[in-house]
Chains A and B, each alone.
Chain A
Amino acid sequence: MTQIATDLLLEATGIAKTYGAVVALRSASLAVRPGEVHALMGANGAGKSTLVKILTGNVRPDSGRIVIRGRERTVHSPADARRGGLVSVYQEPALVPDLDIRSNLVLTDTPIDAFRHWTHELGIGDLDVSDTARQLPLATLRIIDLARALAIEPDVLMLDEMTAALPANLTERVLEVIGRQRGGDRSVIFISHRMIEIAAVCDRATVLREGETVGVIDVNQGSEERIVELMLGRIVQGIPARMSEGAAPVARASDLPPRLSAQGLSSDAKLQDVSFELFAGEVLGVVALEGQGQDELFDILSGSERASGGELLVDGATASFRHPADAIRAGIVYVAADRAEALLPQRSVSENITLPVTARIRNWGLIDLGAERRRVSGAVEKLQIDARAGGEVRRLSGGNQQKVTIARWVAGGVRTMLCFDPTRGIDIGTKQQIYTLLRDLAGAGAAVLLYTSELKEVQLVCDRAIVLFGGRLVAEIEADEADEPTLLRAAYNLRPDAAMPEEVAAELVAAEAASDGGAPSSGLGTPSDQSTNDR
């Protein structure tokens, strides 16, 4: 082939980005050839989303260079990226909600005929462009976003979790259209948690780990295992001994009902038929990739949202939460991932700790300051919160803030604690303290449900773990077996014995299409077919 054909379409090298003390990207690189669909892979926290934000101009890198079609580009905004030939479809649709679709197209200089062509191809040909974006369902908006991007005909099209919110029939159309982009002049960067889609449409995959590019591999049969290996890397040695050695879990009393029992919990399409039991004296881990229904699960359990189906039992009795206060009354407390959601940043540590207690007081009397002080100093001591308890919470470090959110519940006595990624973005020392605290709580008879994005925490802290994928509970793993490879495979739903929701759905669609006699038959079949094809 000629020189031009072997040239790279997009080349990013040495991309680095730090946020304060946190290194998001150390040295990431990405090289995309013309005419290929290129997957960008990485576990939670590998730096994938930061790299995407840098390439699309939403975040400026500390260092590194981006070259598109041989020209170095400084990308300061999505408009810059577009001028450079890179258009992105984000997880959140980039359509202005109060404008109609036609105006949204004008805003991005999108040719309407080309847009129309792609909406037909993608299966929403009956779209009315005078509809306001706000009125349309999320799945339709994502397709509109994709059609708009395709109509601009960018050199590089970046799709970030494009299929996440789509029903199976639209997913199939999208994958078919993306597959047809191959072999031309333009390229696609494809980001997905679904291995089956990677296998179906991607030519090569770049894998990130801990802010660095650790490998670029051709996607073919069996490459899934190789990708998982790359994402894991060598398992980091020097992990502290399992916390539970010190405080052995309380034996499950068979005559007592579970503290918390979820039976077929559902939340529209986001969470489907999830059942599990949480016993007193145990820490139950929840493992999932981003957006697999864990947010909805914790919202339901903590009373922030109501389930659309299923039942929740607390100590064997049916419970129905209309408000977080109901859950707190039933002894279920929630430690949110986003500390800003939980704390009053301008108020003192002691006020923050006693807030749930004072909020519970029924009479309008004065707050007993003596009792408050005793409670606060007890909790501060127990958690080793590094602060003069009079200072404002916003001045504390992230780790100490997180300890305050936990302390407020410890101060009032805990029966059931829901923790959503409590160690995200905090230092290792504080993490250790939180692990110890959670084990101590369980040792004292509390039940703890812990969602964590750090897989190694499962073996450190949990007695067992449940795994969510596509809104369903796909595995339950005992702590002894819950090493990182096992958990990651389970999180990608790669166990051969587990049914894959997409596969089932895709087969259904294929069967339906076949019975209609008008199945699309160009190049790409259903995703499940393609993954087993040899390329």
Chain B
Amino acid sequence: MSAASPTIDETRSRPSEAVVDWVRRNGWTLGLLGLLALLLIYTRMINSNYGVAGIQALAISILPLALAAVAQAICVISGGIDLSIGSMMALTSVFAAANMQGQSEEFAVAIVLATLVFGLLLGAINGSLIVVTRVPDIVVTLAMAFVWGGSALLVLKTPAGGSAAWLKNLVLGPIGVDWIPKAAIVLLVIVAVIWFPLRRSRLGLSIYAIGSNQLAAFRSGVPIGRTKITAYALTGLFSAFAGLSLTASTGIGNPVPGPYTLMSVAAVVLGGVSLAGGRGGVFGPIVGVVILQLVQIDLAFMSLDPNLSLVTQGLILIGVVMFGSLLQWRRSRR
């Protein structure tokens, strides 16, 4: 085979190499998991009482942010960004809380489903505006953040409403063993049922494709506009899950958006999703959320000034991303 291309390496296909390959591809997430393990050990060292209760509290506090991070990750992978996630969470949360109050447990099922469809619709509107008007995504979603945020205040002026008991039970407390929180299982089930099948489908590949190189995707026959709208709709859907998780964990709906939008961007960056699009997954951002939250808890245990705690979180974010980029840069030079 003298005429064969000299550019393709011929060794491969041994199982051990497949493992090496897998590790290399998921290196960032594995590194984050390592960092998370160290943080957990450190937490235990500075506070020997940290245990089952701590894990439960951690899981319930990360659930909304983790779902928001998944929402943001999908959008960023498609080459966009959504600054209205926090507002969509507030709107879907009050929508669910206002409609569930005083209703039967069975009716609440319909409300939950309606809320998810509502979120899907909000996201689709965001995406359609971006595609049709050609206004940059950052501008459209910033503007829509005000629209959805204002709408939330129209639904409920103050934190109010209620949640079905089954919805609260779904996320609060342990399942089976004491230290496995239901919230974590719910998160994994949602991601496993919706994102994992999607990722390997044509639609999922198309979302990665338009984020990676729009022209190449277009030339491969991917409908750019339709795929972009779908990606934003999925972001809306996961925002609705996040909004529902707020209602479920607090029992009410709060019309004022939390700090979720920018935290979701931070988690996505920490989770190894390229802001340029096309690269990364949703698992990294979820681990990123846990790390951010755990750092906050540790700093509280160390009785640091809460303001300094924010400064420290910011520095850790920059530090981790810089360190990771440095590793990637060194690897690419080899």
Contacts and interface: CB of A to CB of B under 8 A. Distances in A.
Is the A/B pair a real complex?
yes
Interface of A: 56, 58, 77-79, 82, 88, 90, 92-99, 103-104, 106-108, 123-128, 130, 136-137, 139-140, 143, 167, 169-170, 172-173, 509, 512-513, 516, 518, 520
A108 B220 contact: yes
Contacts of B279: 98
Contacts of B10: 126
A107 B4 contact: no
A512 B2 contact: yes
Contact of A130 (B5, B21, B216): B21
22 contacts: A77-B221, A78-B218, A79-B223, A93-B216, A94-B215, A94-B219, A95-B216, A96-B208, A97-B212, A97-B216, A98-B212, A98-B279, A99-B209, A103-B205, A106-B202, A107-B205, A123-B3, A126-B4, A137-B7, A140-B8, A169-B5, A172-B3
B332 to A, nearest CB: 10
A385 B13 CA distance: 64
Given A93-B216, A107-B205, 4 more contacts: A79-B221, A94-B219, A108-B221, A125-B4
A520 B212 CA distance: 39
A96 B220 contact: yes
Contacts of B3: 123, 169, 172-173, 509, 513, 520
A98 B78 CA distance: 12
Contacts of A143: 5
A150 to B, nearest CB: 15
B33 to A, nearest CB: 22
Contacts of B221: 77-79, 82, 107-108
Contacts of B213: 96-98
Nearest to A90: B219
Contacts of B202: 106-107
Contacts of B334: none
A107 B220 contact: yes
Contacts of B1: 123
Interface of B: 1-5, 7-8, 10, 12-13, 21, 202, 205-206, 208-209, 211-213, 215-223, 278-279
Given A127-B8, A169-B3, A509-B3, A107 B222 contact: yes
A204 to B, nearest CB: 27
Given A79-B223, A126-B8, A92 B215 contact: yes
A127 B7 CA distance: 10
- Residue from B3, B206, B278 with most neighbouring chain A CB atoms (10 Å): B3
Nearest to A79: B221
A513 B205 contact: no
Contacts of A513: 2-3
A353 to B, nearest CB: 31
Contacts of A512: 2
Given A96-B213, A126-B10, A130-B21, A106 B2 contact: no
A335 to B, nearest CB: 28
A96 B209 contact: yes
Per DSSP, are chain B's interface residues mostly helix, strand or loop, or mixed?
loop
A95 B205 CA distance: 12
A106 B4 contact: no
B111 to A, nearest CB: 38
A106 B219 contact: no
Contacts of B209: 96, 99, 107
Nearest to B25: A132
A97 B213 CA distance: 7
A157 to B, nearest CB: 14
In this complex, the member of B10, B205, B211, B216 whose beta carbon has the largest number of chain A beta carbons within 10 angstroms is: B216
B261 to A, nearest CB: 25
A78 B220 contact: yes
Contacts of A95: 216, 220
Contacts of B208: 96, 98-99, 103
A106 B217 CA distance: 12
Contacts of A107: 202, 205-206, 209, 217, 220-222
A315 B10 CA distance: 50
Contacts of A140: 5, 7-8
Given A97-B278, A99-B205, A77 B218 contact: yes
Q: Give the 7 A-B CB pairs with smallest separation, nearest first.
A: A94-B219, A79-B221, A98-B212, A98-B278, A96-B209, A137-B7, A96-B212
B12 A139 contact: no
A170 B220 contact: no
A94 B220 contact: yes
A140 B209 CA distance: 20
A509 B3 CA distance: 8
B26 to A, nearest CB: 13
Nearest to A132: B25
B5 A124 contact: yes
Nearest to A137: B7
A266 B235 CA distance: 49
Nearest to B8: A126
Nearest to A89: B219
Nearest to B278: A98
Contacts of B2: 169, 512-513, 516, 518
Contact of B216 (A88, A94, A518): A94
Given A124-B5, A128-B12, A509-B3, A104 B220 contact: yes
Contact of A139 (B5, B13, B206, B211): B5
A270 to B, nearest CB: 16
Nearest to A56: B219
B194 to A, nearest CB: 19
A532 to B, nearest CB: 22
B268 to A, nearest CB: 16
A107 B208 CA distance: 11
Contacts of B206: 107
Contacts of B212: 96-99
A161 to B, nearest CB: 15
A167 B2 CA distance: 13
A58 B220 CA distance: 12
A475 B250 CA distance: 80
A512 B278 CA distance: 42
Contacts of B4: 123-126
Q: Which of B4, B12, B209, B221 has the most CB of A within 10 A?
A: B221
A312 B317 CA distance: 46
B5 A170 contact: yes
Nearest to B276: A98
A125 to B, nearest CB: 7
Nearest to B13: A128
Contacts of A137: 7
A77 B215 CA distance: 11
A424 to B, nearest CB: 22
B284 to A, nearest CB: 15
Contacts of A99: 205, 208-209, 212
Contacts of A103: 205, 208
B225 to A, nearest CB: 10
A353 B219 CA distance: 40
A96 B211 CA distance: 9
Contacts of B8: 124, 126-128, 136, 140
B5 A96 contact: no
Contacts of A82: 221
A128 B202 CA distance: 21
Nearest to B214: A96
Most buried by B among A82, A90, A94, A124: A94
Contacts of A170: 5
B164 to A, nearest CB: 41
B44 to A, nearest CB: 38
Contacts of B13: 128
